[in-house]
Amino acid sequence: MIYDLIIIGGGPAGIAAGIYAARKRLNTLLVTKEWGGQITKANEVQNWPGIKSISGLDLIKQMTEHMKSFEIEIRENKEVIDLDKKGDNFTVRDNDEQYEARAVIVASGKMPRTLNIPGEDKFKGRGVSMCATCDAPIFKNKEVAVIGGGNVGFGVAMDLVKYAKKIYILEFFEEMKGDPMTKEKLAQTEKVEFITNAVIKEIKGTKFVESLIYEDRKTSEDKEIKVDGVFISVGMMAKAEFATKLVELNKIGEIVIDKDNYTKTPGLFAAGDITDIKYEQVVIAAGEGAKAALAATEYLGRKE
């Protein structure tokens, strides 16, 4: 079976592309690891036109149901590991199966950047958290570290001040990059200690996290702080390795596209946060997904 179009990703960009492709009667398959992604962590979305306020999860649920009302084939819980082109057709492979299509849209978004240090994986859910909104209350009267002194890290720290006894914010650079007003607010709580020039080296513990080791870049000295929790907020990253044979990536790993969502390979399109577009918003990702589906439709029409 050769599909007209395969869409990789089930966030706002992929879903919008799916709706458009199905309405254009393209024989479409959508492959995704999960529904939503980043937006599912948002408690409230207040800038999706037509809905004053909705949780990210509910918004994605509605989008998914909307898409499923059209004729479109779906493979859930599948992570694409390879994308290639043989002759005129593309091959898309996940861990179990391989699919073929005449055109492909990559819309698999961004995921939280990880530190890749010892202990990070081992203690995930055992003190290491990627979701302060979810887990902050568990750290009542405990000592925690926030990795990343940008606005996201500051936001995480703001969630934590309500509960934790002491919060260390560790930043790699000379200065905290987050908003100075938020920094001031955090400082006023007298619970927060700011540490700059810190390279995180290891998260240690037995059953749960017990301490964090970082190197002071100024003195090259290793330091250990006792913490029960580590909140990692060092930004998001595009994960497009599976497509590297066919696309150009910019220096932060995003897929380079033109204004009509074409990548450098004819028939291969990309949309949303995985691309090098500047603004990352649900409404923009959805628009980009729609554009990519329309461009793919046009491309397929020309081939016939």
- Residues near other proteins (CB under 8 A) are 40-43, 55-57, 125-127, 129, 131, 133-138, 140, 159, 163, 207-208, 229
DSSP 189-250: TT-EEEE-SEEEEEEEESSSEEEEEEEETTTTEEEEEE-SEEEE---EEE--GGGTTT--B-
Catalytic-labelled residue, pool 4, 94, 135, 273: 135
129 within 8 A of 114, measured Cβ to Cβ: no
Question: Pseudo-torsion of CA 124, 127, 130, 132, nearest 10°?
Answer: 160
Nearer to other proteins, 229 or 267 (CB): 229
Minimal distance in Å, beta carbon 57 to other proteins? 5
207 versus 259: smaller Cβ distance to other proteins: 207
3-state secondary structure of 102: strand
Verify whether residue 258 is a known catalytic residue: no
- Does the active-site annotation cover 94? no
Min dist CB 91 to other proteins, Å, is 29
Least Å from the CB of residue 128 to other proteins = 9
C-beta of 47 vs 244, nearer to other proteins: 47
Say whether 222 is catalytic: no
54 touches 44 (CB < 8 A) = yes
Question: Can you tell me whether residue 21 is helix, strand or coil?
Answer: helix
To other proteins, the closest distance from the beta carbon of 203 in angstroms equals 13
Q: Which CB atom, from 118 or from 137, has the smaller least distance to other proteins? A: 137
**272/285 Cα distance (integer angstroms):** 4
Please state the closest distance from residue 35 (CB atom) to other proteins, in A.
11
Which lies closer to other proteins via its Cβ, residue 43 or residue 188? 43
Residue 229 neighbours by CB under 8 Å, 6+ apart: 127, 128, 129, 135, 138, 139, 142, 143, 144, 145, 164, 209
- b vs e for 262-274, b when ≥16 Cβ sit within 10 Å of the residue's Cβ? bbebebbbbbbbb
Distance CA 20, CA 34 (A): 20
Please give the structure tokens belonging to residue 110: 């961004």
Q: Which of 134, 179, 222, 258 is catalytic?
A: 134
Between 81 and 134, CB nearer to other proteins: 134
Answer for the pair 164, 250: CB distance below 8 angstroms, yes or no: no
CA angle 112, 33, 91 (to 5 degrees): 115
Q: How far is the CB of 221 from other proteins (least distance, A)?
A: 30
Name the active-site residue from 84, 131, 216, 276: 131
Q: Burial level of 236, CB count in 10 A (0-12/13-18/19+)?
A: middle
Catalytic residue ranges: 131, 134-135
